[in-house]
Amino acid sequence: MNNVILEVAEQIATVTINRPKSLNALNTETLTELNACFTELEKRKDVRVVILTGAGAKSFVAGADISEMVNATPAEGRAMSLLALETFNKLENMPQVTIAAVNGYALGGGCEICMSCDIRVAAENAVFGQPECGLGIIPGFGGTQRLARLIGKGRAKELIFTCDKIDAQEAYRVGLVNKVVPAEELMDACRKMAAKILSKGSYAVSMAKSVINAGMDMDLTNGLKMEADAFGFTFSTHDKKEGMTAFLEKRSADLTDF
């Protein structure tokens, strides 16, 4: 892969988008590589948490690649959007927990890819925004849908219509990011959070993720019914027996399901 680096250590995969000269802008080649990378990761049993970040100190992802889009036809624009949507859906729904380590600009497609992760941790220098309307287009990698779901319709409309950029603290205030940390502590903070998640039942965490994601597209009654079914299903696992027995025996649990 030319533009994506995948490293795996201690059940944590780090995926780095690596086009620092273009501030890690997403062109078709990079989207295709990310798609292949997520397809591989979703099958890997040795990976339980995925951290997604951008190369260099300045930018997470500065958006879709404007130099590729400038001469694109409507059909090509749509194809790029569909490739990104397929790729980001894969990221959103993989069984592993995904954490975006936002190390700078997260604009347009950059904001959209980090919104497809389960959790966002931002460096203090991170900047978020959806500048598409200033380019005569609309967000096309999920921004009109995921931003409204994350921060509410009113705030999402304001950000998309004004193209305002917001800093990490404001992103935290509106609920776009989970946590803000000094830039030099970003990767450590993500690994620390990953380690905490890894100490829990990975199968249960994955099941909870899947139920939360599916529930967002359902009415409450059906979402709660799905939760009850999934809750019952977890009673069939090794981890449920071990977790509860360990609690009653006052020892730490050895949770191994995934």
- Catalytically active residues are 112, 132
CA pseudo-torsion sign 231, 236, 240, 244: positive
Task: Give the residue among 44, 136, 148, 61 at the shortest CA–CA distance from 101.
Answer: 61
Q: Spell out the residues 6+ positions from residue 55 whose beta carbon is closer than 8 angstroms to its own.
A: 5, 16, 17, 18, 19, 20, 24
Q: Which span (60-68, 87-95, 145-153, 169-177) binds ligand CAA, by CB under 6 A?
A: 60-68
Pick the closer one to ligand CAA by CB: 31 or 205: 31
Kindly tell me which residue out of 109, 119, 177, 201 binds ligand CAA, with binding defined by CB under 6 A.
109
Residue 126 DSSP SS3: coil
Identify whether the C-beta of residue 257 lies closer than 8 Å to the C-beta of residue 201: yes
61-100: contacts with ligand CAA (CB under 6 A): 62-67
β 166-167/119-123 pair status:
unpaired
**Site track for ligand CAA across 145-184, x = CB under 6 A:** ----------------------------------------
Kindly tell me which residue out of 33, 92, 118, 132 binds ligand CAA, with binding defined by CB under 6 A.
132
Question: Does the protein bind ligand CAA through residue 54 (CB under 6 A)?
Answer: no
Nearest approach in angstroms of CB 22 to ligand CAA is 4
β 127-129/166-167 pair status:
antiparallel
Kindly tell me which residue out of 3, 11, 14, 22 binds ligand CAA, with binding defined by CB under 6 A.
22
Distances (CA, A) of 193 to 15, 25, 72, 190, 199: 16, 27, 41, 5, 10
Binding site for ligand CAA (CB under 6 A): 22-23, 25, 62-67, 105, 107-109, 112, 131-132, 135, 139-141, 143
